[in-house]
Structure 1
Amino acid sequence: MNAIKKIIIAIVAFVALVALISLFLPSEVTVTRTAIMNVPAKVVFEQVNDFHNWVNWDPWQEKDPAMKATYEGPEAGEGSKRCWESDHEEVGNGCLTILESVPNTSIKTKLEFEGMSPGFGIWSFEEDEGETTVSWGMKMDMGMNPIGKIMGLMMDGMIGPDFERGLATLTALCENMPVEEPKPTIDAKLVSIESIPIYSIKDSAVVQDLAAKMNDLYKEIHAYVETVKAEMTSPKLCIWHKWNPEGFSVLECAIPVAETGEGSETVMAAATYSGNAVTTTHLGSYESSEDAYIGLEEYIKANGYTVKGPPWEIYTVGPQDNLDTTEWITQIYFPVE
């Protein structure tokens, strides 16, 4: 009996000691890990802000590749939700919801596991000279239960390594992603255009044949201009009636002249557009002019203009003048109202 009494006293004393110790333990526990990534904050933020991307770096997805995930709400950002089901003892069933999302700066989440109080995740992204310091943290309320508080002491060791592994995978993923180069700004402006006479030929070609087609058309127009003894007044130009990178593009190559006659079976006597136009100067090869077109379209939209016809290009300096493509000068126009 004395032995049993001593055991009972020892158990009561242990429980009392645990309860006493727990009084001095915090009920709230925070686990945080940090990594420095050699990419802009935008790149990392997009991987975290969209739950569909988590499959590429989530440490719990790595533990159970067979984990079944479902998605609710918006595609990304505040209100989006990811739930999962797993038979893996370290993964289980749960849901993660984005409560707050500040672009390229911070994300707050709510983590819910079956039979447990929710935890709240905190992500921060601090960019400095192209590098981003990424912090991934989790706050949990262990309640006032002594056992829960003592369990809180072990949380850092339990989930900290998972955070470290996830951040390491996220770092490798982001640093090996192709980073989109910022589009250069363009110097666009609205101008008033006067019509000028031209001799032109309208034709079509696929993208890979455009250079050869344009060369042939300009040769034919130039020969006709010499035949009729017309005076060339400015650099050649091309009106792009239809641009189709996957099929046939329709173009009209032209040479401006002082005045036109009747034309021929293939060469048309025509005149250029007259009215308002938005224009910019592109420096470089013709293949690199996409950014100039995108910039002009954005400028048109931002200023409330409406495109009222096909764009055209004037080749101020081209391959006939200089073989160095960096020296080529192309003036691009969109007719607008």
Structure 2
Amino acid sequence: MKVIKLALISFLVLFLLVTAITFFIPSKIRISRAVNIKAESGTIIAQLNDIRNWKNWYPGFDTLSLNKPLEEGGKVTFAEVRGSQIALIQDSATHISATFNKPDAQKMNMGWQVISHEGSDLVTVQWYIDFKLKWYPWEKFSSLSFEARYGSMLENGLAALKNFLETK
């Protein structure tokens, strides 16, 4: 009986300690990458704000088909891909947001900021993914791997976008 009591108390103390440590991990995380592209900002925006154009640069989209596409103003702003719903919103002339909804997963928000520089033919494109985490210790600790998991995808996508636009 003493062993069981010791095991329960030890488990409870360990759980509380791990939970306390996770309070130091932020609940809102942003993974971000940027690249300079030698192209006009309008050309870049045209690639970003039409889901049909993602096949040209978004990692993995070249082999996917868009289901139930919704076309607004000559561009696809909503589609289903492999069970995920993708919705695009152009917040301004230089900022585009996207949400990925999958029924059994957490909603993922991402966006692109296109920044022109006066006196330069380079345009900076920043691609970011925002995550909102719950207080659960396992969710907070899993966020420590987000940089490795999503950072390379962002880098590859931006490199492909740059390559596509600069060789066009």
TM-score bracket, shorter-length normalisation = 0.7 to 0.9
**Relative to total residues, which structure has the larger helix share, 1 or 2?**
2
Give the C-alpha shift of residue 108 in structure 1: 1.4
SS in 2 for 1:114: coil
The residue that corresponds to 1:56 in the other structure is 56
SS in 2 for 1:144: coil
The residue that corresponds to 1:136 in the other structure is 127
Give the C-alpha shift of residue 113 in structure 1: 2.1
Give the C-alpha shift of residue 171 in structure 1: 0.7
Superposed CA RMSD: 2.1
The residue that corresponds to 2:84 in the other structure is 94
Summarize deviations over 1:257-281 as a string: whole Å, max 9, x none.
xxxxxxxxxxxxxxxxxxxxxxxxx
The residue that corresponds to 1:81 in the other structure is 78
SS in 1 for 2:39: coil
* Structure 2 unaligned residues grouped into runs of 5+: none
Contact 1:81 1:96 in 2 (8 A): yes
One-letter amino acid of the structure 2 residue matched with residue 17 of structure 1: L
With normalisation by structure 2, the TM-score equals: 0.85
Report 1:15-94 matches (<5 A): 15-61=15-61, 65=63, 67-70=64-67, 71-74=69-72, 75-76=74-75, 80-85=77-82, 93-94=83-84
The residue that corresponds to 1:127 in the other structure is 116
With normalisation by structure 1, the TM-score equals: 0.45
Matching of residue 159 in structure 1 with residue 150 in structure 2: yes
SS in 2 for 1:102: coil
Matching of residue 174 in structure 1 with residue 156 in structure 2: no
One-letter amino acid of the structure 2 residue matched with residue 43 of structure 1: T
> Looking at both structures, which has the greater relative contact order when contacts are Cα pairs under 8 Å and sequence separation is at least 6?
2
Percent of pairs with identical residues: 21
Contact 2:71 2:78 in 1 (8 A): yes
Contact 1:69 1:83 in 2 (8 A): yes
Question: Following the alignment from structure 2 to structure 1, what is the Cα–Cα distance between the partners of residues 127 and 166?
Answer: 18
Greater Rg by CA: 1
Report 1:1-337 matches (<5 A): 7-61=7-61, 65=63, 67-70=64-67, 71-74=69-72, 75-76=74-75, 80-85=77-82, 93-103=83-93, 105-128=94-117, 129-177=120-168
Summarize deviations over 1:19-52 as a string: whole Å, max 9, x none.
1112222211111111111112122111111111
The residue that corresponds to 1:305 in the other structure is none
Question: Following the alignment from structure 2 to structure 1, what is the Cα–Cα distance between the partners of residues 3 and 65?
Answer: 53
Contact 1:33 1:136 in 2 (8 A): yes
